[in-house]
Structure formats: structure tokens, C-alpha cells
């Protein structure tokens, strides 16, 4: 593709003599504006001399002509109807409309569904629900892989889909809220609810509050997107999966650059792994009904970094060791000491992946006490040393923006 000649303007906005600029004119046409996607695209654009007009009122200016387009197709079809007239490479940064054959870079929605299911299963939940508004590709993949993981574990998953169940009703916030309250009121608790997006998760929390259902004690809620403006400004702050939108934008821009250089489009979408689950109050609960088991689990979670053992747990709950172990077999997915090792290992993995702390410090902070204990547990449970795990984790995320 030829580069674009752009006029140089004076400080008052008047055109001066044209200056040849070695840059591409790229259109960012998002169905719904996403600041993190924009940041990722802008990072790539700065490094590759892109001109990126971004008109939030009109994402596809009638007068635009350029070299390539980055879009984010969603439920409304107007964006695609206007984009399809352009004879330039187009990259879609979403998976909502897979039937439209475009090169794609998007979050790995299957991995999102798996992560959500594992998160709740790990906390002992036995009742599950998935909530989404639109029957679109991205939410369908999250739904299908969440449900598959839950079913594989031996449980059932209720699907709450406004797109299917709301047909015939006016598509208004009031109607959706009424529908959500009706559906939630019929489900067994403690319930783990995974919402396809943060906005649907907010609707779940609002419905629970109106119904008098306790979040998270009766219904735990997890969303996707981790928008702090949404998640942290609720009566019950929302836990959410990071969707790596900035990296999606960056890698989408990189693919568009290759296409504008004449490279053939890839046969399959490029999937970007989701980020971590940011835990807030909406999931700060354990799906256990036995009071002594709950007390024991709380003690373990609060004191995992200390050199505690089974005797300390038994003393805390004022129950015989055999009675507590029997109660754990009936009401928890792991015995007490296995739960302690699991928490320590999970925290150590997170620190190895997200911090530069030394191995000895991580062992002390996470309750393993010594690097030897930490290394022994990693080899047994993961098949790697802590340093090998850190190295692999850093290599996998080295492309992050």
C-alpha cells in the first residue's frame, strides 16, 4: 500500500505547503468505544508512523480514505454496513460476528469461560449460572466453555439469556431488570454467577440487592472486562477477569500493518489470553454451609502465611480433629491441609508471575517458610522449579503492551 501524503498545517489550522510524511492513514472504528483498545492501537501507531483519526461521534467519517481499518463489530450492524464499502484491509478486534469473514485478533473467550469455571469450582460451588444479553459469538464461547467445565466437574449450569428469553418484550432496562429478578429468584443458593461482561454483572448485583439476596454470601458474581470505573463504584465491588484489551489492540494493529504490507490474512483468529481475575467483594465468599467448616476455611485463608498446622485449625474451631475432617469430606472439595497447600501454591504462583520478589522472600510470604519447601511443592504439583515457572510465565507474557 502507498503511504499517505498529508498537508502540514499551521498553528491556526490553515494548510501550508504539503509535506511528504511516511505514514499510514488508519481508521479506528469501534462499535463501542474502548479506551484500552485505543491505547494499544495508539502504542503501535506511534512506533510505526500511523495517522489514526478517532471521531467518537462518527467512527466512520464519510470523507475518510486511507490504508486500513481496525474495527470492533458488535450487536448493531450499522458499522459493518458502512465499512464493507472500503477496499482496504480490515481487522476485527471482536468475535461477536464470526460469520463475517475478516482477519481477527481477539481475547480467547474459551479461556475466559474456563478461568471463570475453575475460579468458582475452586471455591466449592455446586450451583452455577451464566448470564448474557446478546446471543453473539464472544458471549456464546464464554458460555459454552464455562458450562462445559462445570458439567465436566459433575454439576449443572443455568443459562440466563435475554436474547432468547426476552423475545416479545420491549428491550428496555426496566424489562431486563424485571426479567433478571424473576430468573434469579428461582435459582438455588449459594449460587455462582458468571456474567459475559461487567455490565451484565452489574445488572445481576442490582437485581440481587432489590430481591434482598446477599452478595456474595448467597450469590457470588464475576464479570469480564475489569473496568475500574464500573467494578469499584458499586455497593458491592465487582470481581472481574482482565480482558487484555490493550494487548488485543496492539496485536490487532500489528496484524493490520502486515496486511497493509501485502501479507496474506491468517486462516484463523489470533487469540490473546485473558489476564488475571481481580477479586473484589462480589466473590469474597465460600460456598460452604457447615459453620465449623466455614470457620476453619476462614482461619486457613487468613493465616496461610504463618506456620500453622492441623492442630491450630482444630483449636480455632473447637471441634475434634476426626469430626472436622469428616465435615470437610462432606462439605468441602479439599481436606484442611490440602486447602492450606493449595492457597499457598496459588499465592506463590501469582507472586512469581507478577512480581520480582526473590524466591526466598516469596517462600516466606506465602507460608512455605524456606525456598526448599517451595521448590519441593512446585516440583511435585507443577513439575517445574519456581524459577522455571517464572521464566515460562514471563516468556508467555513478553508480548504484553
Rounded Cα distance between 149 and 152, Å, is 5
What pLDDT, in 10s, does the model give residues 332-385? 878 999 999 989 998 899 899 888 899 999 999 999 999 999 999 999 999 999
Rounded Cα distance between 66 and 326, Å, is 69
pLDDT for 22: 66
Rounded Cα distance between 72 and 153, Å, is 34
Q: Which of 230, 199, 233, 203 is nearest to 219 (CA)?
A: 203
* Residue 40 backbone dihedrals phi, psi, to 5 degrees: -65, -45
What's the pTM? 0.79
CB 142, CB 109: distance < 8 Å: yes
Tell me the average pLDDT of the chain. 88
SS3 122: coil
**pLDDT reading at 15 higher than 60:** no
Percent pLDDT > 70 in the chain is 92
Rounded Cα distance between 401 and 395, Å, is 13
pLDDT for 395: 61
Q: Quick one: CA torsion of 51, 57, 63, 65, rounded to 10 degrees?
A: 40
Q: Which fold has domain 109-243+277-283?
A: Rossmann fold (3.40.50)
CB 280, CB 222: distance < 8 Å: no
**pLDDT reading at 175 higher than 60:** yes
Which residues of the chain form CATH 3.40.50.2300?
20-107+246-272, 109-243+277-283
Percent pLDDT > 90 in the chain is 68
- Say which CATH superfamily domain 20-107+246-272 falls into: Response regulator (3.40.50.2300)
pLDDT for 12: 34
All residues at 6 or more sequence positions from 192 whose CB lies less than 8 Å from its CB, including other chains: 120, 123, 125, 127, 128, 129, 220, 222, 287
**Cα atoms found within 13 Å of the Cα of residue 335, Cβ hemisphere only:** 9
What pLDDT, in 10s, does the model give residues 288-346? 778 899 899 889 988 999 999 999 999 999 899 999 999 999 888 789 999 999 899 98
SS3 394: helix
pLDDT for 301: 87
CB 119, CB 75: distance < 8 Å: no
**pLDDT reading at 399 higher than 50:** no
**pLDDT reading at 7 higher than 60:** no
- Other residues' Cβ atoms within 10 Å of the Cβ of residue 358: 10
Band (398; pLDDT cuts 50, 70, 90): low
- Other residues' Cβ atoms within 10 Å of the Cβ of residue 297: 25
CATH of domain 291-393: 1.10.10.60
CB 187, CB 127: distance < 8 Å: yes
pLDDT for 18: 45
Give the pairing type, strands 105-107 and 270-272. parallel
CA distance readout (Å), 97 to 71, 72, 93, 197, 264: 12, 10, 11, 16, 21
Q: Based on C-alpha coordinates, what's the Rg of the chain?
A: 25
CA distance readout (Å), 107 to 60, 315, 401: 24, 47, 14
All residues at 6 or more sequence positions from 350 whose CB lies less than 8 Å from its CB, including other chains: 276
**pLDDT reading at 142 higher than 80:** yes
Which residues of the chain form CATH 1.10.10.60?
291-393
CB 161, CB 176: distance < 8 Å: no
Higher per-residue confidence, 108 vs 76: 108
What pLDDT, in 10s, does the model give residues 40-81? 999 999 999 999 987 667 778 878 889 999 999 987 778 888
Amino acid at each position: 500500500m502507498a503511504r499517505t501524503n498529508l498537508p502540514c498545517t499551521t498553528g491556526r489550522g490553515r494548510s501550508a505547503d504539503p509535506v511528504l510524511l511516511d505514514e499510514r492513514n488508519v481508521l479506528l472504528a469501534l462499535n463501542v468505544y474502548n479506551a484500552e483498545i485505543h491505547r494499544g492501537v495508539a502504542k503501535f501507531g506511534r512506533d510505526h508512523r500511523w495517522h489514526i483519526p478517532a471521531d467518537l461521534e462518527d467512527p466512520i467519517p464519510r470523507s475518510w480514505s486511507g490504508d486500513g481499518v481496525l474495527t470492533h463489530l458488535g450487536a448493531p450492524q450499522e458499522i459493518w454496513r458502512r465499512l464493507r464499502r472500503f477496499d482496504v484491509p480490515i481487522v476485527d478486534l471482536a468475535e461477536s460476528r464470526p460469520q463475517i469473514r475478516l482477519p481477527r485478533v481477539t481475547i480467547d473467550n474459551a479461556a475466559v469461560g474456563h478461568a471463570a469455571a475453575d475460579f468458582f469450582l475452586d471455591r466449592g460451588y455446586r450451583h452455577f449460572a451464566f448470564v448474557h444479553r446478546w446471543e453473539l459469538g464472544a458471549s456464546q464461547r464464554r458460555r459454552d466453555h464455562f458450562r462445559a467445565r462445570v458439567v465436566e466437574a459433575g454439576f449443572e449450569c443455568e443459562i440466563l439469556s435475554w436474547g432468547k428469553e426476552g423475545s416479545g418484550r420491549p428491550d428496555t432496562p426496566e424489562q431486563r431488570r424485571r426479567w433478571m429478578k424473576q430468573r434469579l429468584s428461582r435459582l438455588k443458593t449459594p449460587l455462582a454467577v458468571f456474567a459475559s461482561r461487567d455490565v451484565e454483572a452489574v445488572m445481576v448485583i442490582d437485581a440481587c440487592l432489590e430481591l434482598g439476596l446477599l452478595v456474595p454470601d448467597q450469590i457470588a458474581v464475576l464479570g469480564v472486562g475489569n473496568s475500574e470505573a464500573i467494578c469499584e463504584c458499586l455497593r458491592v465491588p465487582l470481581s472481574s477477569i482482565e480482558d487484555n484489551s490493550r494487548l488485543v489492540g496492539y496485536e490487532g494493529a500489528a496484524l493490520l500493518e502486515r496486511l497493509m504490507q501485502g501479507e496474506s490474512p491468517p486462516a484463523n483468529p489470533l487469540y490473546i489470553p485473558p489476564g488475571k481475575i481481580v477479586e473484589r467483594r462480589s466473590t469474597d465468599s465460600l460456598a460452604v454451609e457447615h459453620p465449623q467448616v466455614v470457620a476453619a476455611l476462614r482461619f486457613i485463608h487468613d493465616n496461610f502465611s504463618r506456620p500453622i498446622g492441623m492442630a491450630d485449625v482444630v483449636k480455632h474451631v473447637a471441634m475434634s480433629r476426626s469430626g472436622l475432617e469428616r465435615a470437610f469430606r462432606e462439605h468441602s472439595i479439599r481436606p484442611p491441609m490440602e486447602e492450606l497447600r493449595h492457597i499457598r501454591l496459588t499465592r506463590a504462583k501469582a507472586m512469581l508471575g507478577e512480581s520480582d520478589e526473590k524466591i526466598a522472600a516469596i517462600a516466606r510470604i506465602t507460608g512455605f517458610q524456606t525456598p526448599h519447601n517451595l521448590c519441593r511443592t512446585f516440583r511435585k504439583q507443577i513439575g517445574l522449579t519456581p524459577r522455571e515457572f517464572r521464566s515460562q510465565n514471563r516468556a508467555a507474557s513478553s508480548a504484553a503492551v
